[in-house]
Structure 1
Amino acid sequence: MDSQKLLEIAAKACDDKRAENIVALDMQEVSLIADYFLICHGSNERQVDAISKGIKEAVEEEGFNVKKIEGRDQSRWVLVDLEFVVVHIFHKDEREYYNLEKLWGDAGRVPLDL
């Protein structure tokens, strides 16, 4: 399993759906949850939902599995669990409130080629 490749596929899927402020955090030294967190936001619930669907389609097309998707009923904070990569897709207001980048400030940022 190449978690870096999975991160790149998910990040490109976010970018394809015009997600904003896409940030990847390297969680390998700070958490056992996942190798990477990918964080982005959409401007409305419909866009947040479209981003989560785009990620699911893109990773499955490349032969990876989606373990679970949480939060699509409200589409304010959707979590896509790809096992080694956890994608957090926020509505813009929720992203500012929860500020995961600050919460996980010890995690290094991973440059993305989008």
Structure 2
Amino acid sequence: MEENKVIKKSRKVAEGINPGQIKSKHVLDVALRLAMDRGLDTVIYDVKSITPMYDYVILTTGTSDKRLKSLTHEAEAALLDNNFEVGHIEGRKGSTWYLIDGKSIIIHAFLPQVREEVNFEEKYKSLPKRIITEEDLKIYSKTNAQN
């Protein structure tokens, strides 16, 4: 008798995309997945030089509470798929800012006005960063559609 087998569709982790100043393709993959889930202005900062607590910060923006909640779920799934540990998630229904603790990665998903007020970009302006572009998303989408 043949066993039922689940065939998991393989993904290509950020294949064909230049990681720039971010050396981890798995971190890049997490950010790309957030941008694919309509996270706006997604950027990765390498924060190893300013904190021993984590290595990367990913910032992304959602346009509504519903979008932020979706981004939070996608962040958790992307972290797990890339073998990162997920700690806790801060934010509740109706929140304007969610924080996803991926242990070595911290992800912030904000509404636009909150992101502007918090202004992490100013704090991190001298750090290595990688902005996710429309071209990145085209490559990522095409590469993973071929699986």
For the aligned pair, the TM-score class normalised by the smaller chain equals 0.7 to 0.9
- Give ranges in structure 1 of 5+ residues lacking alignment: none
Query: 1:13, 1:51 within 8 Å by CA — same for their partners in 2?
Result: no
Structure 2: any 5+ residue segments left out of the alignment?
Answer: 1-22, 138-147
* CA deviation profile, 1:26-80 (whole Å, cap 9, x unmatched): 1011122311100010111110110010111222234432111111333311011
Secondary structure in 1 matching 2:59 = strand
Equivalent position of 2:6 in the other structure: none
TM-score, length basis structure 1: 0.85
Which residue identity lines up with residue 62 of structure 2 in the other structure? G
For 1:105 and 1:34, the matched residues in 2 are separated by 17
CA apart distance, 1:14: 0.5
Tell me the SS of whatever aligns to 1:43.
coil
RMSD: 1.9
Q: Is the 8 A contact 1:77 1:91 kept in 2?
A: yes
Larger radius of gyration: 2
Structure with the larger strand share: 1
What code does the residue aligned with 2:100 have? V
Give the TM-score of the pair, scaled to structure 2: 0.68
Cα separation, partners in 2 of 1:66 and 1:30, compared to 1, 3 Å: same
Q: Which residue of 2 aligns with 1:64?
A: 84
Q: Give the Cα separation in 1 of the matches to 2:56 and 2:84.
A: 15
Deviation at 1:10, TM superposition (A): 1.6
Percent of pairs identical after alignment? Answer: 24
Match of 2:127 among 97, 107, 111: 107
Q: How many residues align?
A: 112
SS of the aligned residue for 2:86 comes to coil
1:96 corresponding residue in structure 2: 116
Give the Cα–Cα distance (whole angstroms) in 2 for the partners of residues 103 and 12 of structure 1: 23
What amino acid is the match of 1:68?
A: H
